[in-house]
Chains A and B, each alone.
Chain A
Amino acid sequence: METSVDKELSPARVKTGAGFSSKKTPDTVSTNKRLKRSHRQIRAENIFRRTIMIVAVATVVLVVGIMITLAWQSRLSIQSAGLGFLWGKVWDPVRDIFGVYPFLLGTLLTSFLALIISVPFSFAVALFLGEYFPKGWMPDLLKNLVELIAAVPSVIYGFWGLAVLVPIVRSFETAIGVNAVGLGIFSSSLILAIMIIPYAASLGRSMIQMVPANLKEAAYSLGATRWEVIRMVILPYTKSGLFAGVMLSLGRALGETMAVTMVIGNTSLIPKNIFSPGNTMASVIANEFTEADHPVYLSALIELGLVLFVVTVVINMIGKRLIKGVSK
């Protein structure tokens, strides 16, 4: 069938030299076949349209499903502890006491410490690549390197942290005279900072490169120095973009699991200072989920996951909205 359709469509008249006149008296038989063929196409078209629509619906269903699963599975814990869950200072599964304050604190401490450590460095790299040396093989290499470093899996950072960083931190702790464990909030923050820097730096670089050249040139033509251009033009222009970058980095730090789990020391006690061992929300889940031997315990861990979900999603959304606003 297909071949005869093709004959109709193809210029057989080219060969016969009969010109294009055949069109004026369409051959009804092959026209019908052509129609039939196109009907198949129309059906395929409709199927395709419907398929991609179903896929789009499925993404919504997926996310709603995730939320429902988390909420439903944490119901036991929500019922038994309510909001006290968040402020409870004791986490003791054996006695069925589930207060996650130590983990909240641990999460906030590690994340913010990591941010504080990483911001100057990421900002410097962003300026280096985005403003001072935007072109050339050296910055290109650097840019690719930064991207490669950002791609290293966190479990590898965790392993490196255990093997190299923790001993260094331990001797540092001995030197300043605190309880020298090595494992703890401080080591986790360092690892997190290392992991965040490449990510934040490439975000920052793209923000800085978005500053219109004519704005900068206007400032230069008025006799501004490089530093003044950065302070008076680039910073104000990229303010919300850079802030968004910080938010997104924070979102990453909050949810980061493996590297932190490996070097934080894993204790449910409230950390006394930044050198104490502790736990983050993510690391507790990673450590205890498969050990949770009764329903309330498991449910409490899932509620922790729910809290983590809500916090990171909110922070990410804020960051993304800000970036969208900037790129427009």
Chain B
Amino acid sequence: MESTIVKSVNYNAYFGDNHVVKDVNIEIPRNTTIAVMGPSGCGKTTFLRGINRMHELIPGATAKGQILLNGEDVMEMHPIFVRLKIGMVFQRPNPFPNLSIYDNVIAGYKLNGIKLPKAERDNIVQHSLTRVALWNEVKDSLTKKGSFLSGGQQQRLCIARAVAMEPEVLLFDEPTSALDPISTSTVEELFHELKKNYTLIIVTHNMQQAARVSDRTAFFYMGELVEFDDTKTMFTNPKDIRTQNYITGRFS
């Protein structure tokens, strides 16, 4: 019933000599929502950034192994293709401060030099903003700069920006950790909406959040993928002692 969309084979990531992600093998089915958990510094962000090749933007960062997107190794593809197919939302909202809200949503087209007729652009903007439940809030101020919005609104704007490109996979790195509880729940509702059409991979420190939104959970520890299972199983009946400890709060 489900096909694999992202698969990593012996994926390793390094910062210089620092071996941060170790031999990760994971298969992520299409249209599922994955939560990635683990203690701070265990390599979640690094792994996530490896998937769309953002990792290598950091000077001195290298990677080994394979990340397969629809069976194709992203390491052999040009990063531009990879990133067009795999969108990303960051921990801190980062709308383009020089662009209006409208242009922020359409940024992936506009800044990539893809010309669209006005009607189509309007359509994309409205559609994307509606998907992230922001349309009603900003429809009268589309020409204002994106940085005037509140933090939660900015984050949803960033999600809209990623959604507008219609990627196949969306990566989220602790998308709600910089947000207040109300914005957080808005974004979580959004995940439920998005998961119908996209594969979501969400790094989160919040176990409740993982339980609420994800189908499956991956647990990382010290750079290794310790366990990857149905979220329910994972939280009720973890197999690995390290997962158990983490879930029961026995790690710092």
Query: Which residues of chain A have a CB within 8 Å of any CB of chain B?
Result: 2-3, 5-6, 9-11, 14-15, 19-20, 23-24, 35, 37-38, 41-42, 45
CB-CB under 8 A from B115, the residues of chain A are 2-3, 6
Is B84 an interface residue, CB under 8 A from the partner? yes
Q: Which of A2, A9, A15, A41 has the most CB of B within 10 A?
A: A9
- Tally of A-B residue pairs with Cβ under 8 A? 45
Q: Are B197 and A20 in contact (CB under 8 A)?
A: yes
A255 shortest CB reach to chain B, Å: 37
Contact, CB under 8 Å: A35 / B81: yes
Residues of B within 8 A of A6 (CB): 109, 114-116, 120
Chain B residues closer than 8 Å to A35, beta-carbon distance:
81
Asked if B112 lies at the interface with its beta carbon under 8 angstroms from chain A, I say yes
Contact B120 A38 (CB under 8 A): no
- Asked whether A23 lies within 8 Å of B124 as measured between CB atoms, the reply is no
Q: How far is the CA of A69 from the CA of B152 in the complex (A)?
A: 60
Write out the residue numbers on chain A whose beta carbons fall within 8 Å of the beta carbon of B40. Answer: none
The reply to whether B81 and A20 form a contact with Cβ atoms under 8 Å apart is no
Which chain B residues lie closer than 8 Å to A10 at the CB level?
Answer: 109, 116, 120, 123-124
Q: Mark B190-217, 1 if CB is under 8 A from A, else 0.
A: 0000000110000000000000000000
Closest Cβ of chain A: how far from B196's Cβ, in Å?
Answer: 8
Which of A2, A3, A38 sits near B84, CB closer than 8 Å?
Answer: A38
Q: On chain B, which size bracket covers the interface?
A: 20 to 34
Q: Which residue of the partner chain, among A15, A23, A38, contacts B80 with CB atoms under 8 Å?
A: A38
CA distance A37 to B115 in the complex (A): 12
Tell me, rounded to whole Å, the shortest Cβ–Cβ distance linking B169 to chain A.
Answer: 11
B166 in the interface (beta carbon within 8 A):
yes
**Nearest B residue (CB) for A35:** B81
Whether the pair B166, A5 counts as a contact (CB closer than 8 A) is no
Known A9-B166, A38-B80, A42-B80; contact A14-B114, beta-carbon cutoff 8 A: no
Q: Which residue of A lies closest to B168 (CB)?
A: A23
The 3 closest A-B pairs by CB, nearest first: A20-B197, A14-B127, A10-B120
Is the pair A5, B114 in contact by a Cβ cutoff of 8 Å?
yes
For residue B78, CB closer than 8 A to chain A, the reply is yes
Give the CA-CA distance A35 to B82 in the complex, in Å.
11
Query: Quick one: which of A14, A20, A45 contacts B123, CB cutoff 8 A?
Result: A14
How far, in Å, is A124 (CB) from chain B's closest CB? Answer: 40
| Shortest distance from the beta carbon of B102 to any chain A beta carbon, whole Å | 15
Chain B 72-98, CB-CB to A under 8 Å as 1, else 0, gives 000000101100100000000000000
Residues on B with beta carbons closer than 8 Å to the beta carbon of A20: 166, 197-198
Nearest CB of chain B from residue A318's CB, rounded to whole Å: 29
A9 near B78: Cβ-Cβ < 8 Å: no
Q: List 23 A-B contacts (CB under 8 A).
A: A2-B114, A2-B115, A3-B115, A6-B109, A6-B115, A6-B120, A9-B109, A10-B116, A10-B123, A10-B124, A11-B123, A11-B166, A15-B123, A19-B197, A20-B197, A20-B198, A23-B168, A35-B81, A37-B114, A38-B78, A41-B113, A42-B78, A42-B80
Q: Complex: how many Å from CA A19 to CA B31?
A: 14
- A84 → chain B, closest Cβ, in Å? 51
Q: Is the pair B114, A9 in contact by a Cβ cutoff of 8 Å?
A: yes
Task: Tell me the bound Cα distance from A42 to B112 in angstroms.
Answer: 12
For residue B120, give the distance in angstroms from its CB to the closest CB of chain A: 5
Q: Which residues of B contact A38 (CB under 8 A)?
A: 78, 80-81, 84
Q: Mark interface residues in B109-133 (1 if CB within 8 Å of A CB, else 0).
A: 1001111100010011001000000
Cα–Cα distance between A38 and B77 once the two chains are bound (Å): 12
Q: Which B residues touch A24, using CB under 8 A?
A: 30
Q: How far is the CA of A6 from the CA of B115 in the complex (A)?
A: 7
> In the docked arrangement, what's the CA distance between A19 and B124, Å?
13
| Bound Cα distance A6, B81 (Å) | 15
| Assembly CA distance A20 to B170 (angstroms) | 14
Which residues does chain A contribute within 8 Å of B165, judged by CB atoms? 9
CA A5 to CA B120, docked complex, whole Å: 13
